Amino acid sequence: LLTGQHGFGSAGSSFHRVIPQLSNYISTFMLQRCDFTHGNGAGEKSIYGSKFPDEKFVLKSSKPGLLLMANARKNTNGSQFFITTVTTSCVNTMVFGEVVEGIDVTKALEVESVIHQRFYADA
């Protein structure tokens, strides 16, 4: 998916969903990305086809900067993933990675999103 070698991939896709943290408006909860088929969260294409089943949940969402699969329900994984921006235990999807460098970019996206949300909320 990253290289685009199969004629589709994540190059040029954006974070289409930035979800505010419910208990604190200053921070966001997560940044979601990689719907490269529709760009709005409805796409499910993966290297395995349209969807693939859940795997074992060995790691739990326990800190900011974790990468987790984004899905609609059980066994509906595709290409979408999200990055946690706060510590949360309310997410029950597969953790498959961690941001080890560039967390400052994640924080910059978070700040930009909050500014955008406040602008439209005040309009």
Q: Quickly tell me which residue has 């993933």 as its tokens.
A: 81
pLDDT at 85: 78
Residue 19 gets which letter from DSSP? E
Structural domain boundaries in the chain:
15-122
pTM above 0.85, yes or no: no
Contact between residue 48 and residue 78 where contact means Cβ atoms under 8 Å apart: no
Q: Closest Cα to residue 44, out of 93, 8, 83?
A: 8
Residue 87 gets which letter from DSSP? -
Per-residue pLDDT of the chain (123 residues), as tens digits, is 555 666 655 555 555 555 555 445 445 556 665 555 555 555 566 666 777 777 776 777 678 888 888 777 888 777 777 888 777 766 777 788 888 888 887 777 666 555 455 444 444
Q: How far apart are CA 31 and CA 70, in angstroms?
A: 10
Helix (H, G, I), strand (E, B), or coil: what is residue 116?
Answer: helix
Contact between residue 85 and residue 112 where contact means Cβ atoms under 8 Å apart: no
SS3 content of the chain, % helix, strand, coil (to 5): 15, 25, 60
Q: Please give the helix or strand (H or E) that residue 113 lies within, else none.
A: helix 103-122
CATH class for the domain made up of 15-122: mainly beta
pLDDT at 119: 41
